[in-house]
Chains A and B, each alone.
Chain A
Amino acid sequence: MKEVWTLAEFRHGKLNPISFELLNRGKNLAQKLNTSLASVVIGYNIKKEDIDELIKRGADKVYVVDDIRLENFMVETYAKVILKLLDEYNPDIFIAAATTIGRTLMPYIAVKKQTGLTADCTVLDIEEETENLLQTRPAIGGNILATIKTPNTKPQMATVRPHSTKPSPPDKTKKGEVIYKQFDNEAFNAKTKYIKFVKDESQQINIQDAKIIVAGGRGLGKAENFKLIEELADLLGGAVGASRDVVDRGWKTYPHQIGLSGKTVSPALYIAVGISGAIQHIAGMQTSENIIAINKDPEAQIFKISNLGIVGDLHEILPLLIERIKEYKKKGAN
């Protein structure tokens, strides 16, 4: 029995779509190993539709633990519950998304299972001869890629960088098995108490989940000019990012900071406006699928990693760009 497991993320009463990206990864691995793919979903009040959705998106089995004491993520209880499942079913591979949950839970679990864990992978594959999981990840600020394996211990564990793959499309006809599990009180003992969640209203769209990010740097000149960035992001349905310089100046809050000491993002499109492209900034966004840069300095580093570079003054370019996109969208609407 060598199942491939993915962690489906259920928070604030909803399934995180990242769970479907993981299923896409998992499907590929399970096919190569000729085995079944299972998702684990834990939380409270998990709806039947959500479980069905996991099956349609590729899970052959779904392990469900639904308990009020799992309503909010707490590493101690989540780890205990998952460890019980791992001990009972012994999957070969267990992957989770490199979100704040995955990056907290997985290292905690890996230590208890005395197994290896590779962080923030962008490529997962199976080594043919050994059937080992090959885990590839960027390291050292994206300067290198390293392929890592966990040859002697099980499960082989990895966290996967959000948006490094597409979610698998739903297959309406697909059937799967649902296994409900319950655990006694001991599994829910914790030295932590969850108090509350406070939504950050300035983050309209969660940056790490955003398909499009429009980021501004010091070139904007002053805080008010960020309105242009916000407007463009809004038009494109994207989130707002910022360089550290801008955060240090208080033009934008820290949750928006992209880079080495901020967030690592990998959206489908990253538009960098008035950002020079310091290595510490690039470290957080260079795996974006498409990069467009606007900067008045033709020698700016950011152009080296851009698919399209516009050399010019952002104060001329942004207002016109915004206007033209609005026109384009209006035309589309008619």
Chain B
Amino acid sequence: MRIIVPIKQVPETSNVKMDPVTGTMIREGVENVVNPLDLYAIETAIRLKEKYGGKIIVISMGPEKAVEAIKEAIAMGCDDGILLSDKKFAGSDTFATSYVLAKAIKQTGDFDLVICGERATDGDTGQVGPGIASFLDLPLSTFTSQILSVENGKITVKRLVEEGYEEIEMMLPAVLTVVKEISDPRLPTLRGKLKAKKMEIPIWDAQKIGAEGQKIGLKGSPTRVVKIFTPKVTREGEKVIVKDEKTLHQAIDKIIDYLIEKELI
């Protein structure tokens, strides 16, 4: 099987800062990691390869630093990596990002599966996976929680939906986005790390993937960020401390009064 895994490098979520003027993220001084939800996509690909053989290519669109994310995936067990980096890609929204990734995926040749994370923890849209499927006109399974079988050019999967699970069968090639339930990501091995360190990761630009200028970057993005602001913290946060029987009953009264007042009971 040939599997493509698009991964994104994201800032560590606990300390993200925003530039209030441009409305973009301040990336300097923030530690970057592989989008945590993409680790499940990487693990899924590796397990498929262990079972069926083949090759895994990791691709990432981003600045040159994103090569670190690709190397981490290789250290975990992926075979090859491609960095999609070009000034012209800057400012891409999910439409333009899906377009660039779809173009690059086509450029890599034949493949059986594209496996994405469910969403990136920075943009938090979950739109790129479905977007890639749409650009490539491929069947799509989102919120995939289990791969049931791969045979005769078909894949059967379980999807996590409201109230339960759905099983669908798709013809390959297909696109999956996966949820955490699908696997338990392994850690990079020492051997993997050494291999990744030595590896040259090719960089592809807009021209290499044959991307049309009017579909990429800020210019190619149909959406525009108008304004960025921090949510107002309006919670008063009354606190009741339970020290003894009396305060315990007071605390319970408080909860019940609150539920009644807000018509929640």
Contact = CB atoms under 8 A, between A and B. Distances in A.
A291 B143 contact: no
B230 A145 contact: yes
Interface string A224-250: 000000000000100000000000000
Interface in B217-236: 221-231, 233, 235-236
A146 B228 contact: yes
Main secondary structure of the interface of A (DSSP, over half): mixed
B130 interface: yes
A305 B242 CA distance: 19
Interface of A: 72-76, 79, 99-100, 103-104, 106-112, 114-120, 134, 138-153, 190-200, 203, 206, 208-209, 212, 236, 254-255, 257, 260-262, 268-269, 279-280, 283, 290-292, 298, 303-313, 316-317, 320-321, 324-325, 328-329
A255 to B, nearest CB: 6
Interface string B147-159: 0000000001011
B252 A320 contact: yes
A306 to B, nearest CB: 5
Contacts of B264: 212, 236, 268-269, 290
The contact size tier of chain B is: 35 or more
Given A106-B127, A147-B226, A304-B235, 5 more contacts: A74-B168, A111-B95, A152-B222, A195-B168, A279-B13
Nearest to B238: A308
A191 B171 contact: yes
Contacts of A193: 168-170
25 contacts: A75-B139, A103-B126, A103-B142, A107-B134, A110-B134, A111-B131, A116-B221, A141-B13, A143-B18, A147-B229, A148-B224, A191-B171, A195-B166, A197-B166, A198-B158, A254-B145, A260-B121, A261-B36, A280-B13, A303-B239, A308-B240, A312-B241, A317-B251, A320-B252, A321-B256
Interface in B163-188: 163-171, 174, 179-181
A116 B125 CA distance: 12
B199 interface: no
Contact of B224 (A104, A151, A290): A151
Contact of B139 (A76, A138, A140, A325): A76
Interface in B15-46: 16, 18, 23, 25, 36-37
Contacts of B143: 100, 104
Given A114-B95, A119-B124, A283-B13, A321 B255 contact: yes
A108 B140 contact: yes
A140 B130 contact: no
B162 A206 contact: yes
A292 B265 contact: no
Contacts of A119: 94, 124-127
B122 interface: yes
B265 A236 contact: yes
A144 B225 CA distance: 12
Contacts of A146: 23, 225, 227-228
- Residue among B126, B131, B255 with most chain A CB within 10 A: B255
A116 B140 contact: no
A191 B139 contact: yes
Contact of B14 (A262, A279, A304): A279
Contact of A195 (B25, B156, B240): B156
Contacts of B14: 279
A70 B170 CA distance: 17
Contacts of B242: 310-313, 316-317
A306 B231 contact: no
Nearest to A79: B134
Contacts of A261: 36-37, 180
Contacts of B165: 197-198, 200
B93 interface: yes
A223 to B, nearest CB: 18
Contact of A254 (B170, B181, B222): B181
B95 A117 contact: yes
Interface in B109-127: 121-127
B180 to A, nearest CB: 5
B252 A108 contact: no
B106 to A, nearest CB: 15
A72 to B, nearest CB: 8
A304 B37 CA distance: 27
Contact of B169 (A73, A192, A307, A320): A192
